[in-house]
């Protein structure tokens, strides 16, 4: 699972750049060609579909900053971590992802959840 942490960082960097060439370079390095990405608003397959979705989201909330909001917990090619979206220094959405990587460390699946789970 070499390089998985670099690839998680590269995937986060895709969300924070508007440069199409840089997004493509980061995606090529970090994401498997048949990446499956699902969250409450999307269910897509493929690196190109992912990049198109990122462009769409960036156009809907221009200037948003995406960051990891926790350590990364990893086991058996799966990781989980919290993330946050900020605009002008204000939190606009927290969430968390569960990701799967292949043995080469490339991301093959992302399952994203919006908001936090309330404790009972």
pTM for this model (two decimals): 0.93
Q: For residues 23 and 60, what is the distance between their CA atoms, to the nearest angstrom?
A: 17
Instruction: Check if the beta carbon of residue 92 is closer than 8 Å to that of residue 84.
Output: no
CATH class of 4-114: alpha beta
- pLDDT by residue for the chain (120 residues), tens only, comes to 558 899 999 999 999 999 999 999 999 999 999 999 999 999 999 999 999 999 999 999 999 999 999 999 999 999 999 999 999 999 999 999 999 999 999 999 999 999 988 888
Q: For residues 49 and 72, what is the distance between their CA atoms, to the nearest angstrom?
A: 25
Q: What is the pLDDT of residue 2?
A: 56
């Amino acid at each position: 699972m070499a390089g998985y942490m670099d690839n998680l960082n590269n995937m986060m960097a895709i969300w924070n750049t508007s440069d199409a060439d840089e997004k493509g370079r980061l995606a090529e390095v970090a994401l498997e060609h048949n990446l499956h990405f699902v969250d409450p608003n999307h269910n897509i397959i493929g690196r190109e579909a992912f990049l198109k979705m990122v462009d769409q989201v960036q156009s809907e909330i221009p200037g948003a900053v995406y960051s990891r909001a926790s350590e990364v917990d990893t086991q058996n090619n799966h990781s989980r971590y919290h993330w946050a979206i900020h605009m002008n220094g204000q939190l606009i959405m927290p969430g968390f992802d569960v990701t799967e990587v292949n043995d080469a460390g490339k991301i093959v699946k992302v399952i994203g959840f919006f908001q936090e789970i309330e404790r009972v």
